[in-house]
């Protein structure tokens, strides 16, 4: 849960807030235009995934503003060239529109993901939800903030003593049709009822921060910019995101930016259940 607090004194956070608020507004306006049926360009990338004019506009804006703010920190973005990334001991990891398919299907569960990578680890994370005009942000070493830039209200994550749960909330993508997901849920349901929560993109990580998802299994590939910010935020509250081999993802280290599947959990109490169910599926 989050409780109202004063604004952080950290300058990096305060510098990023207005930049990300503008990026969010650009993306929201693009979404509103698309939903209204106005002229809107959607193309196909080499991997046959869609890219829209909204992806490119937000990407262009954030690349420019981040370069002004931190000129010595290079940027890995889904929509830009990052061929020299292995030479970078630190970098920004950016997805200007996470949930392009949600956007195209007129579902408002899309986000902007931004994280700072140092020595292959996520040390600072932001997820912006344009349709809710909020952002979740924080350092790995501290509890995260939630900021409403519509109301100028800051809140901070508050750990609370867990009470016995009546059901486990499982986060799933709208496209989670692989039988492994049902096998995963079936295992957990042997012990406790399951509530399915379907949502798109990194929005599920925000739901985990809000206590609306306990475990999020993913058995199909993602990319590093899809998971880095969410992993950092989860780790900061005592949760985590693990590969299917039960180790945390590292970043800007492998030959490819593609990830295999993962298991994300909200708190230490959910970790063992999440991994036990995984061992039953693999």
pLDDT value of residue 179: 92
Q: What is the pLDDT of residues 211-238, one digit of tens each?
A: 999 999 999 899 999 999 999 999 999 9
Is the domain covering 168-281 a CATH 3.40.190.80 domain?
A: yes
Domain boundaries, the chain: 2-157, 168-281
For 265-269, what is the mean pLDDT? 95
Residue 12 confidence (pLDDT) above 80: yes
Taking alpha carbons only, the member of 263, 272, 264, 276 closest to residue 237 is 264
Q: Which H helix or E strand runs over 25?
A: helix 11-35
Q: What is the pLDDT of residues 40-98, one digit of tens each?
A: 999 998 888 899 999 999 999 999 999 999 999 999 998 888 888 988 999 999 999 99
State both tokens at 123: 């040390």
pLDDT value of residue 79: 87
Give whole-number Cα distances, 12 to 66, 68, 69, 85, 151, in Å: 11, 13, 9, 23, 21
From its phi and psi, is residue 252 left (phi > 0), alpha (psi between -120 and 50) or beta?
left
* Three-state DSSP class for residue 40: coil
pLDDT value of residue 174: 85
CATH number at 2-157 = 3.30.540.10
Residue with tokens 């997901």: 181
Least confident of 106-120, 139-153, 156-170, 226-240: 156-170
């Amino acid at each position: 849960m989050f409780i109202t607090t004063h604004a952080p004194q950290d300058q990096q956070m305060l510098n990023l807030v207005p930049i990300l608020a503008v990026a969010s507004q650009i993306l929201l306006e693009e979404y509103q235009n698309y939903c209204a049926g106005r002229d809107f360009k959607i193309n196909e990338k080499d991997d046959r995934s869609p890219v829209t004019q909204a992806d490119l506009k937000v990407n262009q804006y954030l690349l420019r503003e981040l370069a002004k703010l931190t000129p010595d920190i290079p940027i890995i973005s889904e929509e830009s060239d990052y061929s020299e990334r292995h030479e970078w001991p630190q970098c920004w990891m950016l997805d200007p529109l996470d949930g392009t398919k949600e956007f195209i299907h007129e579902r408002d569960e899309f986000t902007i993901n931004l994280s700072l990578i140092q020595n292959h680890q996520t040390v600072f994370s932001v997820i912006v939800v344009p349709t809710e005009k909020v952002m979740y942000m924080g350092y790995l070493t501290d509890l995260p903030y939630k900021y409403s830039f519509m109301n100028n209200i800051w809140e901070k994550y508050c750990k609370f003593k867990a009470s016995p749960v009546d059901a486990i909330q499982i986060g799933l993508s709208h496209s989670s049709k692989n039988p492994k997901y049902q096998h995963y849920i079936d295992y957990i349901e042997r012990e406790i009822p399951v509530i399915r929560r379907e949502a798109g993109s990194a929005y599920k990580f925000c739901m985990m921060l809000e206590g609306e998802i306990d475990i999020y299994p993913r058995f199909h590939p993602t990319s590093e910019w899809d998971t880095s910010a969410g992993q950092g935020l989860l780790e900061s509250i005592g949760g985590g995101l693990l590969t299917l081999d039960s180790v945390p993802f590292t970043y800007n280290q492998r030959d490819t930016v593609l990830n295999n599947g993962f298991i994300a959990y909200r708190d230490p109490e959910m970790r063992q259940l999440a991994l036990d169910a995984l061992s039953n599926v693999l």
